[in-house]
């Protein structure tokens, strides 16, 4: 479980830095090609798309434990190795 979280955090950090790099790299080229207003509109559209993705596809996590989230995702996506009915804090999902 901790190994998955570490890999997910590493992948998320890498993706964040890559997107920041791409925005910085292409910003001036977009301004040159499309103009400043169209460039900001393009970024606005991507931001709205990201907002829709987050609101529709990611679950609310406020007030939930990591174990309950793991149980939900394992149940939803069928990870038979860690799907257990006893996802209480302190229970070991890997006997």
pLDDT in tens, the chain (95 residues): 678 888 989 999 999 999 999 999 999 999 999 999 999 999 999 999 999 999 998 878 888 888 888 888 888 877 655 444 555 555 555 54
Quickly count: other Cβ atoms within 10 Å of residue 87's Cβ: 19
Per-residue model confidence (pLDDT) at position 68: 85
Per-residue model confidence (pLDDT) at position 83: 44
81 DSSP assignment: T
Per-residue model confidence (pLDDT) at position 91: 55
- Contacting residues for 33 by C-beta, under 8 A, at least 6 apart: none
The token duo for 45 is 């559209």
């Amino acid at each position: 479980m901790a190994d998955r979280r570490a890999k997910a955090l590493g992948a998320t950090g890498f993706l964040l830095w890559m997107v920041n790099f791409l925005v910085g790299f292409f910003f001036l080229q977009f301004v040159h090609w499309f103009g400043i207003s169209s460039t900001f509109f393009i970024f606005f559209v991507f931001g709205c798309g990201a907002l829709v993705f987050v609101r529709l596809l990611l679950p609310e996590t406020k007030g939930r434990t990591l174990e309950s989230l793991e149980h939900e995702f394992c149940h939803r996506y069928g990870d038979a190795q860690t799907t257990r009915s006893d996802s209480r804090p302190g229970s070991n999902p890997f006997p």
